């Protein structure tokens, strides 16, 4: 099911009574979620992710804008008539019901023509339990399950009616690191097997990047960029997106462009194809994998320390033009770094260096040599 969000806006009255302006939780959001895809909605806390999800499922009404499921305008449809499955961070299972009863619950509520026989309901419940691999646990109560198992039950309950759209709001946040990794792979598998159009909300960029077909990066209610995870990582439209994606994060420097040359502080790090009469302040972002250790390299940093990570080493250094206290570069552990030296020099991989306007923080499209 294709989902179309058209100029979706949601305003809330400001909780601070003295402030006259409304809070714009979602601001003019237009996006078509392709049929059968998993879309990751990503951004810092408070950027409007949950509000967007609540608008799609109908728990909240937009201030303006429209929502379509396929050709159907569902903007004014109550949630129960939209055919959505919902999973939240806190699993919200019925504590007094068994796993089986929890999963059956949405089916038992079907009325009229949609009403199912007991046998059909049971078969559907067991099929879905098998899909999420909890069919051995059907007679337990939620309190007798681990967090990961409880979340699987919540997913099964959301899926049992075969919703047109599956909406997941930070579904992994309550799980420990290992289980989070495992469950996100499970969600990807289940989504692939069912082919249900899915929106997955998270503040964790790695989580969103790893399982999404498309990611939507939001900030203050405004969509910043939409694209395949790798494309957004490789070509961020602005400094916010560049900083939000990637671990370790991108290193940001104050720089200048002069006569077509790109400087970080006083280090000349490359030549751009910008007109030679342009002279301006910029931010230069360098991905951690963009640094190449090299004697006589263009960027001269002060070595702080070297952290061994096994496959790679992380070189921690400083530079007078760095915006962050330290710069982190990831290089292969085949490199030998002299821990005692005061200086490290790097050459830079041009496709890992981004230039941003110092005022607008928008990316400046240019090639760097």
Q: Which residues here bind Mg ion, judged by CB under 5 A?
A: 50
CB of 62 to ligand ADP, least distance (A): 13
Q: With respect to ligand ADP, which residue has the nearer C-beta, 51 or 149?
A: 51
| Integer Cα distance of 140 and 149 in angstroms | 11
Q: With respect to Mg ion, which residue has the nearer C-beta, 50 or 238?
A: 50
Residue nearest to Mg ion (CB): 50
Contact status, residue 68 vs residue 33, Cβ threshold 8 Å: no
Q: Which does 25 bind (CB under 5 to 8 A by kind): ligand ADP, Mg ion, none?
A: ligand ADP
In sequence order, what DSSP letters do the residues of 237-275 get, joined into one string? SBHHHHHHS-SSPPEEEEEEEETTEEEETTEEEEEBSS-
Residue showing tokens 């989504």: 191
User: Residue count at the site for ligand ADP (CB under 6 A)?
Assistant: 12
Tokens of 312: 């790679």
Whether the link from the prior residue into 248 is cis, omega within 30° of 0, is yes
| Integer Cα distance of 189 and 211 in angstroms | 9
Q: With respect to ligand ADP, which residue has the nearer C-beta, 42 or 264?
A: 42
Q: With respect to Mg ion, which residue has the nearer C-beta, 90 or 261?
A: 90
Query: Could you tell me the CA-to-CA distances from 259 to 249, 262, 263, 351 in Å, in that order?
Result: 30, 9, 11, 21
Q: What is the CA radius of gyration of the chain?
A: 25
Q: With respect to Mg ion, which residue has the nearer C-beta, 47 or 158?
A: 47
CB of 366 to Mg ion, least distance (A): 36
- What part of residues 101-130 is at the interface with ligand ADP (CB under 6 A)? none
Q: Which does 214 bind (CB under 5 to 8 A by kind): Mg ion, ligand ADP, none?
A: none
| Integer Cα distance of 58 and 290 in angstroms | 44
Q: Which does 12 bind (CB under 5 to 8 A by kind): ligand ADP, Mg ion, none?
A: ligand ADP
Which conformational region is residue 17 in: left (phi greater than 0), alpha (psi within -120 to 50 degrees), or beta? alpha
Contact status, residue 203 vs residue 42, Cβ threshold 8 Å: yes
Q: Which does 23 bind (CB under 5 to 8 A by kind): ligand ADP, Mg ion, none?
A: ligand ADP
Q: With respect to ligand ADP, which residue has the nearer C-beta, 48 or 58?
A: 48
Could you say whether residue 23 binds ligand ADP (CB under 6 A)?
A: yes
Query: Binding pattern to ligand ADP, positions 31-60, x when CB under 6 A?
Result: ------------x-xxxxxxx---------
CB of 66 to ligand ADP, least distance (A): 19
The residues of the shown chain that bind ligand ADP, judged by CB under 6 A, are: 12, 15, 23, 25, 43, 45-51
């Amino acid at each position: 099911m294709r989902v179309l969000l058209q100029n979706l806006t949601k305003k809330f009255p400001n909780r601070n009574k003295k402030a006259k302006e409304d809070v714009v939780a979602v601001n003019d959001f237009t996006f078509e979620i392709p049929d059968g895809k998993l879309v990751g909605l990503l951004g810092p806390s408070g950027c409007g992710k949950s509000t967007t999800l609540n608008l799609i499922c109908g728990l909240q009404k937009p201030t303006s804008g429209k929502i379509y499921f396929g050709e159907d305008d569902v903007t004014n449809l109550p949630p129960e008539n939209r055919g959505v499955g919902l999973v939240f961070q806190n699993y919200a299972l019925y504590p007094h019901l068994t796993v089986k009863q929890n999963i059956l619950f949405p089916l038992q509520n079907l009325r009229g023509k949609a009403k199912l026989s007991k046998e059909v309901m049971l078969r559907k419940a067991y099929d879905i339990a098998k899909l999420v691999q909890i069919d051995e646990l059907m007679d337990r109560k939620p309190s007798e399950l681990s967090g990961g198992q409880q979340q699987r039950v919540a997913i099964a309950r959301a899926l049992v009616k075969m919703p047109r759209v599956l909406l997941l709001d930070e579904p992994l946040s309550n799980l420990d690191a290992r289980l989070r990794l495992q469950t996100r792979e499970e969600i990807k598998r289940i989504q692939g097997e069912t082919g249900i159009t899915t929106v997955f909300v998270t503040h964790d960029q790695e989580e969103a990047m790893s399982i999404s077909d498309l990611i939507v990066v939001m900030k203050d209610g405004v969509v910043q960029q939409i694209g395949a995870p790798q494309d957004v990582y490789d070509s961020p439209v602005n400094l916010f997106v560049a900083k939000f994606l990637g671990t370790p994060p991108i290193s940001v420097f104050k720089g200048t462009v002069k006569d077509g040359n790109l400087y970080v502080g006083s280090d000349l790090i490359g030549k751009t194809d910008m007109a030679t009469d342009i002279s301006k302040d910029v931010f230069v972002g360098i991905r951690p994998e963009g640094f190449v250790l090299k004697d006589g390299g263009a960027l001269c940093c002060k070595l702080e320390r070297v952290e061994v990570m096994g496959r790679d080493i992380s070189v921690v250094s400083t530079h007078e033009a760095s915006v962050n206290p330290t710069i982190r570069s990831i290089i292969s552990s085949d490199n030998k770094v002299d821990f005692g030296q005061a200086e490290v020099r790097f050459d830079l991989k041009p496709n890992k260096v981004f230039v941003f306007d110092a005022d607008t923080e928008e990316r400046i499209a240019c090639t760097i040599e």
